[in-house]
Amino acid sequence: MSPPILSALLAPASVAVIGGSDRQGSVGEVVVENILAGGFAGTVFLINPRPLSVPGTTWVAQIADLPQPPDLAIVVVPAAAAPGAIAELGAAGVRVAVILSAGLTEANGLRQAVLDAARPHGLRLVGPNGLGLLAPHARLNASFARGTPLAGGLALISQSGALISGLVDWATTRQLGFSGIVSVGDMADIDLADLIDLFAADPRTDAILLYIEGVTRGARFMAAAQAAARLKPVIALKAGRNPASGRAVRSHTGALAGAYDVHACAFERAGIVQVESLTDLFDAAAVLRGGPELQGELQGERLAIVTNGGGAGILALDAMTAGTGVLADLSPQTLEQLSSALPAGWSHGNPVDLIGDAPVERYRAALDAVLADDGVDAVLVMNCPTALLDPRDIAQGVAAAVVAARGRGILKPVIACWLGDTNQDIAGPILSAAGIAMFGAPDTAIRGFGHLIAAHKAAARLSAPPAASEPRQDRPSAARALIATARAEGRSLLNEIEAKALLDAFGVSTVPTRLAATPAEVSAVCAGLAPPYAVKIVSPQIVHKSDVGGVVLNLPDAQAAVEAAEAIAARVATACPGAVITGFAVQTMVAPGRAHEVIVGLAPDPTFGPVLMVGAGGKAVEVIRDHALGLPPLNGAAALAMLARTRISRLLAGYRDEPAADIAGIVATLEALSAIATELPEVLELDINPLRVDAHGVMALDARVVISLDPAPASRLVLPA
């Protein structure tokens, strides 16, 4: 968005409230009241056909009567009047309007009507159906939010208006201030991406907080978020982790890749720090908003804990899980230094227990020692209050020690946990000034450290984005021929033979498989394959073959294979009477032996495009639910990181006398699917299940591919590198 829009929203010199009112308790009155109560210094126009005399405002009967176009318009008229008001504002030369009015829907046409009214004039819209806009540096509260936020460095962009007052309240308690708060409403025009761009460019904004229910324009959002995240922390809470019901999908990958998980995956790629609750949103802001200059720079996850209460140290350790740090091993030199500074009863390890009566000198000595240790990446300093010592003194000593360390070039982040609300309130401001974020309980402090780690990882990802493998132009051409055939026949589901040929074209090894049109033909097909055999039904109507008795394994010879095909035909005739039988896929049976069954897949997300999946496969895939998602394009390192997030990766790594499985083969398969996703937009869904994996290699035993019948499938989301 252009700079005029940024300044119109965050630093307007004049505001007009269209539909402003003096009727007690109406939205028009509450908004005007909030603007006046907030102390906005600019001109406030109140536009209402009825003459009004509200001190501090200038009444105007209609938009056309305004003496000059206001920098910002707030629209609170009834829905039906909104398009007319927008047209008049546009004609008057207004650049930005915030529509609070509800009831402008696609169904009643009013949503489109306001867009149509605004477009000829280049008028940009926030809303409709939002709570409004708050720009604390301009002392502007153009909303019906309750409470007045402090001015500060946080930008809040929320898809829920109702949450805003609560968030302002929490932030105020934590002494956190805002550069701007925008309730985006229905996002008819200005959306999350626009506002991320705006706050990324705003020099007063230190961090961007997002409450998201659903992203629109996925590629645009990703570009905006990636650009912003290179400049300042972008922290998001995504609602809908517990979807009432899944989407209608035909593939395992689609069924397993829920919208929340795909958003999480996209956020990770974009360098966004994702949190799981409203409380975490602010905790993350508290540890991240200062940036490296103030809060230090994390280089790893090794945490030293300095505490005057053993129990508090243990509880912090208890709260540490994957992604929230590992306990640092202190060097022998550090231990020696600590032993000389601390009483004999100290813990002689990490957590460093200074004993309950620890005065400030002990804290300083311990901080000096652990901050200097090369095996320590960050420090959590804890205080359990006692009547013996003043928590203020301890806080001052800790702040001084950290500032002194910064002066010596030690930029390791330090976070604090002062137990109890009073203790925290006393010490918080002292520590905050030294760039030390404060928490009131061991578990929240460790979650706070987790946000620091997440931000560190996000920054690392942005500085080294995965690149796709080199495109090989011969692959798509071979695959496109297969797809053309299926399309010509109006089939969106490739049969098993075609699906395996497509994989073959992308270098994924598949088990030899041939098609027999009838049970009788099975015998001839077996002649070209090594026994034992597996026989599976091939029918455009049958997606999950096992469920209808359409698979028979372990057939020792051709005769048994023929009989199995006959039995399958009989069962399918009963179970799916309408199914057209293309034939029977006959393949060499690969004994499971000690092999692992893995699933690798590709499915479309309506917002972010194709999504890759890897996890534990086999028939029980949806019962086991052990998988990880990733967005294409990805390289080997990103594919390996995806695999590492699954439980089955621990088995694949080998254990006891079991050798490691061919992990490189799984990675190569994921890279092949990434190539298919980027090079063949016709492929909508693809499941390889199972991918048989042992120490010697990988082999796709079964595959399902769904293609688009659209002659020109929408071009894919291409993620910015």
Q: Please, what is the minimum distance in Å from the beta carbon of residue 144 to a second copy?
A: 5
Return the number of the residue (441 or 664) whose C-beta is nearest a second copy: 441
Which has the closest alpha carbon to 349: 380, 379, 327, 378? 327
Mode of pairing for the β-strands spanning 234-238 and 273-275? parallel
User: Residue 675 and residue 470: Cα distance in Å, rounded?
Assistant: 9
Return the number of the residue (301 or 679) whose C-beta is nearest a second copy: 301
Which has the closest alpha carbon to 184: 136, 130, 241? 130
Mode of pairing for the β-strands spanning 513-516 and 533-538? unpaired
Q: Please, what is the minimum distance in Å from the beta carbon of residue 681 to a second copy?
A: 32
Residues 6+ positions from 529 with CB-CB distance below 8 Å: 512, 514, 586, 587, 588
Return the number of the residue (12 or 309) whose C-beta is nearest a second copy: 309
Q: Please, what is the minimum distance in Å from the beta carbon of residue 622 to a second copy?
A: 8
Task: Report how far apart, in Å, the C-alpha atoms of 396 and of each of 400, 405, 415, 560, 694 are.
Answer: 6, 14, 14, 83, 59
Q: Please, what is the minimum distance in Å from the beta carbon of residue 322 to a second copy?
A: 11
Q: Please, what is the minimum distance in Å from the beta carbon of residue 168 to a second copy?
A: 7
Q: Please, what is the minimum distance in Å from the beta carbon of residue 286 to a second copy?
A: 15
User: Residue 316 and residue 307: Cα distance in Å, rounded?
Assistant: 10
597, 692 in Cβ contact below 8 A?
yes
Return the number of the residue (548 or 684) whose C-beta is nearest a second copy: 548
Q: Please, what is the minimum distance in Å from the beta carbon of residue 418 to a second copy?
A: 8
275, 284 in Cβ contact below 8 A?
yes
Return the number of the residue (357 or 710) whose C-beta is nearest a second copy: 357
65, 89 in Cβ contact below 8 A?
no
Q: Please, what is the minimum distance in Å from the beta carbon of residue 423 to a second copy?
A: 6
Return the number of the residue (241 or 696) whose C-beta is nearest a second copy: 241
| DSSP conformation letters of 315-355 | HHHHH--TTS-EEPPPPHHHHHHHHHHS-TTS-SSSSEE--
Q: Please, what is the minimum distance in Å from the beta carbon of residue 232 to a second copy?
A: 24
- Side-chain half-sphere of 613: how many Cα atoms within 13 Å? 31
Return the number of the residue (303 or 501) whose C-beta is nearest a second copy: 303
Return the number of the residue (266 or 417) whose C-beta is nearest a second copy: 417
Q: Please, what is the minimum distance in Å from the beta carbon of residue 710 to a second copy?
A: 32
Q: Please, what is the minimum distance in Å from the beta carbon of residue 616 to a second copy?
A: 11
End-to-end CA distance of the chain: 22
Rg (CA), the chain: 31
Give the count of beta carbons closer than 10 Å to the beta carbon of residue 470. 6
Residue 122: alpha-carbon gap to chain centroid? 32
214, 240 in Cβ contact below 8 A?
yes
DSSP state of 121: G
Return the number of the residue (324 or 607) whose C-beta is nearest a second copy: 324
Return the number of the residue (419 or 468) whose C-beta is nearest a second copy: 419
User: Which H, E and C letters describe 532-563, residue by residue?
Assistant: CEEEEEECCCCCCHHHHCCEEEEECCHHHHHH
Sheet containing strand 58-60, strands side by side: 58-60, 43-47, 14-18, 72-75, 96-99, 124-126
253, 603 in Cβ contact below 8 A?
yes
User: Residue 703 and residue 192: Cα distance in Å, rounded?
Assistant: 38
Return the number of the residue (126 or 163) whose C-beta is nearest a second copy: 163
Helix axes 192-201, 218-229, angle to 10 degrees: 20
Degrees, nearest 5: CA angle 642-647-648: 90
Give the count of beta carbons closer than 10 Å to the beta carbon of residue 551. 18
Name 151's bridge partners. Answer: 178
Sign of the C-alpha dihedral computed for residues 8, 11, 16 and 20 taken in this order: positive
Return the number of the residue (319 or 342) whose C-beta is nearest a second copy: 319
Q: Please, what is the minimum distance in Å from the beta carbon of residue 150 to a second copy?
A: 14
Return the number of the residue (388 or 524) whose C-beta is nearest a second copy: 388
Q: Please, what is the minimum distance in Å from the beta carbon of residue 441 to a second copy?
A: 5
Q: Please, what is the minimum distance in Å from the beta carbon of residue 548 to a second copy?
A: 9
Give the count of beta carbons closer than 10 Å to the beta carbon of residue 175. 14
406, 296 in Cβ contact below 8 A?
yes
User: Residue 216 and residue 202: Cα distance in Å, rounded?
Assistant: 23
Q: Please, what is the minimum distance in Å from the beta carbon of residue 619 to a second copy?
A: 6
Return the number of the residue (230 or 625) whose C-beta is nearest a second copy: 625
Both tokens assigned to 683: 């492929």
Name 138's bridge partners. Answer: none
Return the number of the residue (212 or 634) whose C-beta is nearest a second copy: 212
Q: Please, what is the minimum distance in Å from the beta carbon of residue 30 to a second copy?
A: 5
Return the number of the residue (111 or 514) whose C-beta is nearest a second copy: 111
- The residue ranges of DSSP E strands in 463-507, in sequence order, are none
Cα dihedral 541, 546, 547, 548, rounded to 10, equals: 60
